[in-house]
Amino acid sequence: MKAIHTHAVGGRTTDLSVYVNGKFLPQSEAKVSVFDHGLLYGDGVFEGIRAYNGRVFKLERHMDRLFHSAKAIDLKIPHTKGEFANIVLETCRHNDIKEGYIRPIITRGPGDLGLDPRKCKSGPSIVVIAQPSINLLGKVYERGLKVVTSSYRRVPPQSLSPSIKSLNYLNNIMAKVEANQYGADEALMLDIHGYVSEASAENVFIVRNHTIVTPFTSTNLPGVTRETVLELAPSLGLEAKEQFFTLYDVWASDEAFITGSAAEVAPVVEVDGRTIGDGKPGPTTKKIMKAFRDLVMSTGTPI
């Protein structure tokens, strides 16, 4: 039997309460139709959001990105951004979230076995999951990540914009499978021109002479953590640049790290068997990790 994730509320253990199409249901009863085009075709969008210290970090920014993704695939959300933000907060309250991970999902809804979105007559399925905090990489933060470059290229914007946070993550999953096969913590993906794009689910930064560099978002997801790190840089005495760079630049960098809502800021100490810096999380990365932690613990929308 599969274990159900439970969490303690006031000393008792309870099923997570999941928002599904206007109702809060116990996790074991939270379901969508097998005819939902989110399942059948990956036709839908989602967000990954974090709560810290009883507040949701950058909730409005995540709502902006969710609605932008939906608009890009012509999926109409039957709520305003403000209404949807309130659903997120209410789901957090139902699960007594202080530190947590929140996953809003909007699919095209149930239809038939054809892929035409017009067949999804009943409208989108809306799901919000809020669970106590995840520790995605565990002790890896202390030792640093070992990364390999994937042979799978990131889907180019000419085919599908990587800025859309869609339910179809197979391109990223193939890279992650490859990283697992090589015994690495994460995969680095290049774009079709051979420039660094992103990791399987995180943005990538390198550090050179007190300058932090990350690729333009045309070939990767415009990450909220990525954006936050760029905003924090000047106050830490760091120059921040967006520019395309190659694997050579990663191998020759002083430091490297990845960013994402789930991963936060995680140091990279090895890429393709090459040691980055001195093989330990670097001083600039550690400085950014601390500044990020201070920021998330002190700001956000109160639950």
11 pLDDT tier (thresholds 50, 70, 90): very low
Determine, yes or no, domain membership for 127: yes
2 pLDDT tier (thresholds 50, 70, 90): very low
- 207 and 252 part of one domain: yes
Helix (H) or strand (E) holding 81: helix 81-94
Handedness of CA 36, 39, 45, 47 (dihedral sign): positive
At which residue do the structure tokens 């989110």 appear?
38
Residue 117 has pLDDT above 50, yes or no: yes
Q: Which pLDDT value is given to residue 141?
A: 85
- 94 and 205 part of one domain: no
- 53 and 156 part of one domain: no
- 112 and 152 part of one domain: no
Determine, yes or no, domain membership for 289: yes
At which residue do the structure tokens 């040691």 appear?
275
pLDDT digits (tens, 9 = 90+) for 69-92: 999 999 999 999 999 999 999 999
pLDDT digits (tens, 9 = 90+) for 171-227: 999 999 999 999 999 999 999 999 999 999 999 999 999 899 999 999 999 999 999
Q: Which pLDDT value is given to residue 108?
A: 98
- 98 and 176 part of one domain: no
Can you tell me the distance from the alpha carbon of 48 to that of 101, in angstroms, rounded to the nearest whole number? 7
- 95 and 195 part of one domain: no
Residue 15 has pLDDT above 50, yes or no: yes
Q: Which pLDDT value is given to residue 133?
A: 78
228 pLDDT tier (thresholds 50, 70, 90): very high
- 210 and 272 part of one domain: yes
On whether the CB atoms of residues 209 and 255 are closer than 8 A, the answer is: no
Read off the CATH number of the domain in which 110 is found: 3.30.470.10
Among 97, 132, 167, give the residue marking a domain's end: 132
How deeply is 96 buried, as exposed, middle or buried, from its count of CB atoms within 10 A (0-12, 13-18, 19+)? middle
- 128 and 144 part of one domain: no
Determine, yes or no, domain membership for 64: yes
Residue type at position 10:
G
User: Average of pLDDT values for 289-301?
Assistant: 97
Can you tell me the distance from the alpha carbon of 95 to that of 90, in angstroms, rounded to the nearest whole number? 9
Nearest CA to 125 out of 280, 233, 19, 258 is that of 19
Determine, yes or no, domain membership for 1: no
Task: Kindly list the catalytic residues.
Answer: 165
Residue 8 has pLDDT above 60, yes or no: no
Q: Which pLDDT value is given to residue 140?
A: 82
pLDDT digits (tens, 9 = 90+) for 134-181: 666 667 888 999 999 999 999 999 999 999 999 999 999 999 999 999
Q: Based on the structure, what is the number of domains in the chain?
A: 2
- 125 and 235 part of one domain: no
Residue-number span of the structural domain to which 35 is assigned: 8-132
Determine, yes or no, domain membership for 159: yes
- 188 and 224 part of one domain: yes
Q: What is the mean pLDDT of the chain?
A: 94
Determine, yes or no, domain membership for 286: yes
Determine, yes or no, domain membership for 97: yes
- 122 and 153 part of one domain: no
Among 132, 153, 188, give the residue marking a domain's end: 132
Read off the CATH number of the domain in which 263 is found: 3.20.10.10
pLDDT digits (tens, 9 = 90+) for 245-254: 999 999 999 9
- 145 and 68 part of one domain: no
Q: Is the pTM of this model over 0.85?
A: yes
Q: Which pLDDT value is given to residue 129?
A: 98
pLDDT digits (tens, 9 = 90+) for 26-48: 999 999 999 999 999 999 999 99
Runs of H (alpha helix) within 207-298? 224-232, 247-251, 283-298
Among 132, 159, 191, give the residue marking a domain's end: 132
Can you tell me the distance from the alpha carbon of 122 to that of 50, in angstroms, rounded to the nearest whole number? 30
